Amino acid sequence: MNIIYVLIPLSLILMVLAIGFFFWAVKNDQFDDLDTPALDVLDDDEPASPEDTEQPDR
């Protein structure tokens, strides 16, 4: 069980790194727009052909 004395402080360091990375991302406008990226995923680089748009699978 002694390994936890190493692993848990390590996880803390990772958490601090994660928070640091998140703060950096917030500062660089990554979280300013939370609406449109959801749609970008749906979008192919080429405009969709009319047939595709007429038959959404449901």
Partner 1 sequence: MNPSASQVRSGCWHCGDSIPAGVEIRASIGGTERAMCCHGCQTVATLIDQAGLNRYYEFRDALPERPELGQVAIEDYQAWDRPAVREHYAKADCDNLYSLSLVLENVHCAACAWLIHRFVGGLPGIAEIRVDVSDGRLHLRFNPERTRLSQIAARLASLGYRPHLDSPLAGTARNQTERRQMLKYIVVAGLGMMQVMSYALAKYIGAWQGIEPETERFFLLISMVVAVPVCLYSGQLFYKSAWRTLIQGRIGMDVPVAAAMLLALFSSVFITLFGSGPVYFDSVVMFIFFLLLGRYAVLVARQNAGQLHSALARSLPVQTRRLGADGPETVSLIELAAGEQVLVSAGETVPADGRIVAGSVMVDESLLSGESIPRRRVIDEQVMAGSLVRDGQMTLQIEELGQSTALAGIVRMLDQARTYKPRMALMADRLAAWFVAFVLTGATVAGLVWWQIDPAMALPVVLAVLVVSCPCALALGTPVALAAAARGFARLGVLISRPDALEKLPRITHVVLDKTGTLTQPEMRIEEIRPVAGFDPDRARRLAGRLERVSRHPVASAFARFDDGGQVEEAEAVTAAGVCGRIDGVGYRLGKPAFTAELADAELSEPGPGQWVALGDDSGVLAWFRIDSPLRQGARTLMEGLEGSGMEIWLASGDRRANVQRVAQELGINHVRAECTPADKLALVRQLQAEGGRVAMIGDGINDAPVLAGADVSMALAEGADIARTQAELVVTGKGLGRISTAFALAPKVRRVVRQNLALSFSYNATALPFAAAGFVPPWLAAIGMSASSLVVVLNAHRLGRSVVVKRETEDGRGQTNNPAEPASSPSPVN
Our finding on whether 57 is near partner 1 (CB under 8 A) is no
Q: Specify the long-range contacts of residues 14-17, CB closer than 8 Å, at least 24 apart.
A: none
Our finding on whether 28 is near partner 1 (CB under 8 A) is no
Question: Considering the complex, what minimum distance in angstroms separates the CB of residue 35 from partner 1?
Answer: 4
Q: Specify the long-range contacts of residues 30-38, CB closer than 8 Å, at least 24 apart.
A: none
Please identify which residue in 5, 6, 13, 57 interacts with partner 1, judged by CB under 8 A. 5
Q: How far apart are CA 7 and CA 12, in angstroms?
A: 9
Q: How far apart are CA 53 and CA 39, in angstroms?
A: 15
Binding site for partner 1 (CB under 8 A): 1, 4-5, 8-9, 11-12, 15, 18-19, 22-23, 26-27, 29, 31-33, 35-36, 38-40, 42-43, 47-48, 50, 53-54, 56, 58
